[in-house]
Amino acid sequence: MSSNSIGVAVIGAGMAGKAHAAGYRAATAVYGPGLPGVRLVSVADAYEPLAEDAARRFGFERHDTSWQAIAAADDIDVVSVVVANALHREIVDALLAAGKHVLCEKPLSDTLDDARAMVAAADVAAERGVLGRIGLTYLRSPGIAFLAGLVRSGRLGALINFDGAYWTDYACDPDGPISWRFKGPSGSGALADVGSHLTYVAELFGGPVATVRGATLHTAFPTRPVPLGRVIGHEHGAVGDERDTVDNDDVAGFFVDFAGGGTGALQVSRVAAGHPNTLKFEVFCERGSAAFDFRFPGQVQVWLPEDEDALAGPRTVILGPAHPYWRGGLAMDAPGVGIGQNDGFVFQARAFLEEVAGLSASDSLPRNADFTDGLHNMELLDAVARSAAAGGTPVDMASAIDNT
């Protein structure tokens, strides 16, 4: 890395890849000065028209058609890996070996063996000062971060129950085309795709999960048509008459017991018609409760005891500069101006670039999670899949961690 600039690349130009590219583009414009120069160098994708379009749209100098070109490039220091889960290990390992700092999309990989190998590779790279980090984007939501801090402070008392759901509808059309998202073992579908988000949010509030129980996995549409062309993100496109088997889950539900006390009930779906992206939860504690719905990300609900019965009930709190990530993180950082998922990618990119540049971490923008955190998230998802395979039998997280 040059002493005065950081060269950035993104591998994968689909929906999430574009979010990473846009995040890097905006990262220098938030939280004031301090970063060295950031050069937007390349967007790579095997489908060249997509790579070319994303590079031009987000102001990158060029596009490439292979991840190998990124690994070999001398002018690239930082790389986001945003491709199919099964491809993560090969690409990430090669990038780390080439001395590139890597920000990998969740989940870390598609198998525990690969995830553990990636942790080992990141540990070796860290000895040379090379970073491996994972994007757990919802940790950057001001509303989620604020409520988690409120619970951890003890203001609401000990947690009793976390009740959460992540509903999406990108697969609710039974004639939507088959893609890599529908392949892989049970637990690699909706559970891995959106359940990975919901589980780390649940642990942000309840702490580490000790036991998973009562898990169920369900495939609503056992076959899907084969596409006639390339499938990009959640888009559909033309399909033929041939159909292929869906290997994994459309819906998952399970209960957890937190090691520090309290329970959780979690449900995820990719076939929830009318819910394009609904992450919501309620947290019930000994002296109050709180609620969040990502469809309304600029506000939260909090219930605290009132002296007057007539005033008892949840209050809506409009987010603003007093809440995490807001002040300096938005171009217009006044209360009530609105915030969304794209902003989380900006905060994530800024935090990663600051760490690469060796800047001190601040309370307002903590570091991204590392590969060990990503492995833990996968071990939790594996425990859910094993509970479901055993008819809902409880699975100890200690055994999940030991499972090979």
329-343 confidence digits (pLDDT tens): 999 999 989 899 999
pLDDT reading at 352 higher than 60: yes
Higher pLDDT, 403 or 298: 298
With pLDDT > 70 as the criterion, what percentage of the chain qualifies?
A: 98
Answer for the pair 276, 219: CB distance below 8 angstroms, yes or no. no
Which alpha helices (DSSP H) does 14-111 contain, by range?
15-27, 48-57, 67-72, 88-97
By the 10 Å C-beta count (0-12 exposed, 13-18 middle, 19+ buried), 113 is classed as exposed
Quick one: pLDDT at residue 1? 56
Higher pLDDT, 20 or 3: 20
Answer for the pair 325, 143: CB distance below 8 angstroms, yes or no. no
Let me know if domain 5-138 sits in CATH 3.40.50.720: yes
Quick one: fold of 142-336+378-386?
A: Dihydrodipicolinate Reductase; domain 2 (3.30.360)
Residues of each domain in the chain carrying CATH 3.30.360.10: 142-336+378-386
SS3 107: coil
Q: 317-330 pLDDT, tens per residue? A: 999 999 999 999 99
Answer for the pair 131, 355: CB distance below 8 angstroms, yes or no. yes
How wide is the angle at C-alpha 391 spanned by C-alphas 386 and 397, nearest 5°? Answer: 35
Of 86-90, 92-96, 337-341, least confident by mean pLDDT is 337-341
Q: 189-203 pLDDT, tens per residue? A: 999 999 999 999 999
Q: How far is CA 98 from CA 6, 68, 119, 338, in A?
A: 15, 10, 16, 40
What band does 34 get if pLDDT is binned at 50, 70 and 90?
confident
pLDDT reading at 14 higher than 90: yes
Answer for the pair 326, 366: CB distance below 8 angstroms, yes or no. no
Residue 220 and residue 243: Cα distance in Å, rounded?
15
Q: 231-277 pLDDT, tens per residue? A: 776 777 788 899 999 999 999 999 999 999 999 999 999 999 999 99
Of 234-238, 283-287, 364-368, 398-402, least confident by mean pLDDT is 398-402
CB count in 10 Å sphere of residue 347: 28
| Radius of gyration for the alpha carbons in the chain, expressed in angstroms and rounded | 21
Residue 41 and residue 187: Cα distance in Å, rounded?
36
Of 68-77, 161-170, 301-310, least confident by mean pLDDT is 301-310
Residue 206 and residue 102: Cα distance in Å, rounded?
29
Quick one: pLDDT at residue 400? 60
Residue 175 and residue 84: Cα distance in Å, rounded?
21
Residue 281 and residue 120: Cα distance in Å, rounded?
34
Residues of each domain in the chain carrying CATH 3.40.50.720: 5-138
H/E element, 242: strand 239-245
Quick one: pLDDT at residue 3? 54
| Nearest alpha-carbon partner for 209 in 165, 159, 135 | 159
Strand partners, 362: 365
Quick one: pLDDT at residue 230? 78
Instruction: Note the pTM of the prediction, 2 decimals.
Output: 0.94
What are the two backbone dihedrals, phi and then psi, of residue 361, each rounded to the nearest 5 degrees? -70, 145
| Nearest alpha-carbon partner for 392 in 300, 256, 285 | 256
pLDDT reading at 402 higher than 70: no
pLDDT reading at 107 higher than 60: yes
| Nearest alpha-carbon partner for 166 in 281, 292, 301, 291 | 281
Token representation of residue 345 = 């990618």
pLDDT reading at 12 higher than 90: yes
| Nearest alpha-carbon partner for 339 in 94, 141, 155 | 141
pLDDT reading at 111 higher than 60: yes
Quick one: pLDDT at residue 160? 98
